[in-house]
Amino acid sequence: MLRGEHMFCLCPDGFQGDNCETDTSGCYFGRGLYYRGTKSESQSRRKCLDWDPETRERFMSSDVNSGMHNYCRNLGFRLRPWCYVLGNHISVQEYCDIPRCYSSPGPTLEVPFTLPPSPQPEIEFSCGQRNSRQMKIVGGTIATVESHPWVAAIFWRSKSRRKAFRCGGSLISPCWVLTAAHCFPDGAQTKARRLSVILGKSALNETESSSEQKFQVDKLFVHEEFDNSEGNYDHDIALLRLKAKHGQCAKETRSVRTVCLPPPGESLQPGIQCEIAGYGKEQQGLWYNSQYLRQAKVVLLSHEECRDKDYYGSLITGNMLCAGRPDWSQDACEGDSGGPLVCEVADRLYLFGIVSWGDGCAQEFRPGVYTVVTNYNQWIAEKSGLSSFTAGSVVSVAPLK
């Protein structure tokens, strides 16, 4: 029998809160993705048109009367609820005149952050800091490596000694790079001696000796529970240990720095804007990767939304998070795998996600899927010997306005 703290209430439509005390029918939270009120007027005071049958069938099967109404909704992950109205004798989209709710539908997330300790006490690295701001990743822009100094380029050398770019990664300490498990088809049987990592690299087919640092890989750890039997890359995480030179691995420079790891189990609210970077294809269908490091900004989606049948459904597990753009214009793509999804908190960049998979690139309702790094802090500590991360000062994290 459920008792005490395990009891909960199911609120009727339009009400939220511990005691169903908040009427949400007249306002919306966040971007209004779950708004189910009956407002049917645009911000220009025009009456909303009924949703068309195709839209109802595709996106509104669980809505009121299966979408057979003209109420404002946020379909397509836009900024706020909207509807179609008649303008110049044609149907046009317009945002609705609905206020944002003042209170949060749940407790505000307060994330304790602290800088991860260095595995080499004699080397002081300033994690999550960069010397320059951004100046494909699909729809993104060319980036200087100084704006993403933790990005690692992982290469594979074949038996014929031909070297090919394999995946991206993130430098989390001077000797350790975090990446995706699916980058290594042979799993734990992959020969580490055939892998190499270049840090501080701005272009794949160019070498800049003044900024690049190259290392052979000493050891590869692929997560023991990595599973692609369902085609969704669960537990998609791997660690590379760099082979030290003269007792030292990476040296901190303008183009090479570590990224911070957030505390175990912490997450960010949907709506937070984060960054991705990589050397992947600039658009779906190209046979070649981007010549230069590219970057893009994406917005975190809620776990519930990404598990919706209109998105990825049950393919999304608790080890994954989704991020995209409201207009679906920017996304990670093939070749970006293993690269970082970083979010800025208190002027530092934290590695919350690893580029994992997605259905195509920058496709509508098909956001990028990323491995949730905070689910694996203990695994990272066990494999790398890095100290566990302890809670420090509390930083409130609010969604993007």
Q: Which of 170, 196, 234, 236 is catalytic?
A: 236
Based on its alpha-carbon atoms, the radius of gyration of the chain, rounded to whole angstroms, reads: 23
Phi/psi of residue 94, nearest 5 degrees:
-150, 140
Contact 179, 168 (CB under 8 A): yes
What Cα–Cα distance (Å) separates residue 329 from each residue in 17, 78, 83, 228?
35, 12, 21, 27
Q: How many CB atoms lie within 10 A of CB 397?
A: 18
Judge whether 182 counts as a catalytic residue.
Answer: yes
Contacts with 247 (C-beta within 8 Å, 6 or more apart), sequence order: none
Judge whether 337 counts as a catalytic residue.
Answer: yes
> Nearest-CA neighbor of 179 among 169, 187, 190, 171?
169
Q: How many CB atoms lie within 10 A of CB 42?
A: 23
Hey, what are 11's tokens? 């609120």
Q: Which of 147, 148, 173, 182 is catalytic?
A: 182
Contact 374, 263 (CB under 8 A): yes
Judge whether 97 counts as a catalytic residue.
Answer: no
Q: Which of 147, 337, 356, 384 is catalytic?
A: 337
**Sign of the dihedral defined by the CA atoms of residues 211, 159, 169, 221, in that order:** negative
Which active-site residues does the annotation give? 182, 236, 337
